[in-house]
Amino acid sequence: MKFTTPLLAAAMLASSVQACIRVHVIAAYNPTVGDGMRVQIWDNDDFCEVQRQSKTGPNAETHWQFAFGNGHFVELWDNGRTGFVSLPGGYRANLNLRQKQCEKNCYLFGENYCKLSGLTYESALDDGFGNCGSYGHQLCNYADCGGWHQKGWSNGDDGQCRPNY
């Protein structure tokens, strides 16, 4: 956690505030409907908002920026697994990855192989502040999109979506 002003640090630390900002992210690279990211944000138990964005040709290095109506600002990259959150008044914290999964779907089959596939990454993150340890950070475990799919992270967690057999 990083405070940008000493006054903000003193006020937050002197109070008994224990807030946890949680973010749920789905980044989808889909050749049939397009590429995009969906972000949900909670402040403690209060659901704040969900936003969606589309981009042409994004990759793991693409930065996605979301400005929520309650003043929360979230920037994400690495397919939604890395980022930070900031609030009005100077609070800024790096987000901690708590859960992740990926899914590879085939949209067009050839003879014994997939001609056209897409990837979906899902992650749960938080700012590590206050009571974040009391939340389960559950993922949706999205349903099969029809037909063949594979889930899992490669050995060594290099960020590539590969099936674990």
The pLDDT confidence band at residue 4, using thresholds 50, 70 and 90, is low
Cβ(102)–Cβ(110) under 8 Å? no
How far apart, in whole angstroms, are the C-alpha atoms of residue 153 and residue 100?
9
The pLDDT confidence band at residue 141, using thresholds 50, 70 and 90, is low
The pLDDT confidence band at residue 110, using thresholds 50, 70 and 90, is confident
How far apart, in whole angstroms, are the C-alpha atoms of residue 161 and residue 151?
8
Q: What is the mean pLDDT of residues 93-118?
A: 86
Tell me which residue of 113, 91, 94, 96 sits closest to 104, measured CA to CA: 113
Q: Give me the pLDDT at residue 18, please.
A: 54
Q: Give me the pLDDT at residue 98, please.
A: 92
* Structural domains in the chain, sorted by start: 2-151 (2.40.350)
DSSP state at residue 90: S
Q: Give me the pLDDT at residue 152, please.
A: 41
> Global pTM?
0.74
Cβ(26)–Cβ(120) under 8 Å? yes
Q: What are phi and psi of 134, to 5 degrees?
A: -85, -5
